[in-house]
Amino acid sequence: MRKARRFLLFFLLLALLCGCRAPEDPGASAAPEPEGLDLPDSALMRDEGAESLLLCAVSYDRDGYSLLTSLHVLVRTEAGEVDLLTLPKDTRVLLEHYDADGYTYSAYGAISGAYHAAEAAGLAERKTVEAVSTLLGGVRIDHYAFLNVVQLQNLADLFEGEIVIDIEDDISDLGVFRGLLDVRPMLTQFATYSYLNDIGGIDYLGTDPYKLRRHQQLIEAFLRGLSQQMEGLDEEGREALSQDVVSILRTDMSAQDALRWIDGTRRLHSAQILEGYENETGQNAYWIPDRTALKSWVIEHFYSLEEEEAPE
């Protein structure tokens, strides 16, 4: 009997130990969450009144290689209000790569890698859109637009007036300090610095929230400037302006799509950066999304809850 009790006690202690987790080391690199979002399809339906646009900033390093420096998901409601979610270029996702023989393989990497990995195959835009859609739980991205600093300057030439940015951090290299500033006279230098974080063409690892905030402010300023320019034009002039916009960008939008976005946008309602944390692994630094926060944002902007029918 005593042996039986000792045997039972041993198994109870073993079960207790197996059910306990060791305390987590706060300095340890946390493993990224699995890809995709678990959306409750039975309770949600697509909000057909919302229209989405993926806007991507492209720049070039000192060796001439293209760099995808930030990604922005804009969702516009029927009322003309736009909500903006900025995705850091280091956001970690599962990517499809192409080897020298044209074969594909999957590996984890920064979301900006979706653009670079597919560029040689001529699929950069399509694969970037697919990567963003997957990150957002498979939502439909209605349109995309890619632009670099030269195209940004060409867009600025389409409308008159100042391009006022509320600078939130000092940029001593450019002689720019906190406060309101018209960046039109120095737009190319300001945009290049904001894209690369270094005027010499060095793209540092990691996520710089000040840099991403400047990206958002440029988007807001250009939406406002183009919208104001549109207000003073007749129908023919508005169509011509819309055609000029799509001819500058690398986009799948038609002139009518651009007209709807520019003319139908009343204001930028909100702008936020994807919530998450930095995870450094060797020579790489990845931004790991907060899946709960991301899921809430996706449901709020792309879906509406189905109303249950009241029992008779």
For the segment 190-244, what is each residue's pLDDT rounded down to a tens digit? 887 776 544 444 455 567 788 888 889 999 999 999 988 998 899 999 999 999 9
Higher confidence at residue 33 or residue 136? 136
Could you read off the pLDDT of 89-128 as tens digits, one per residue?
Answer: 889 887 776 666 666 777 788 888 888 777 777 888 998 9
Range with the largest mean pLDDT of 48-52, 128-132, 187-191? 128-132
Residue 1 has pLDDT above 60, yes or no: no
Could you read off the pLDDT of 2-42 as tens digits, one per residue?
Answer: 444 444 444 433 333 343 333 333 333 333 343 456 665 55
Domains of the chain: 48-301 (3.40.630.190)
pLDDT at res. 34: 38
pTM above the 0.75 mark?
A: yes
pLDDT at res. 252: 96
Could you read off the pLDDT of 139-191 as tens digits, one per residue?
Answer: 889 999 999 888 999 999 999 889 999 988 888 878 888 999 999 999 988 88
N-to-C CA span, the chain: 64
pLDDT at res. 50: 82
Range with the largest mean pLDDT of 72-81, 112-121, 197-206, 278-287? 72-81
Q: How confident is the model at residue 279 (pLDDT cuts 50, 70, 90)?
A: confident
pLDDT at res. 273: 93
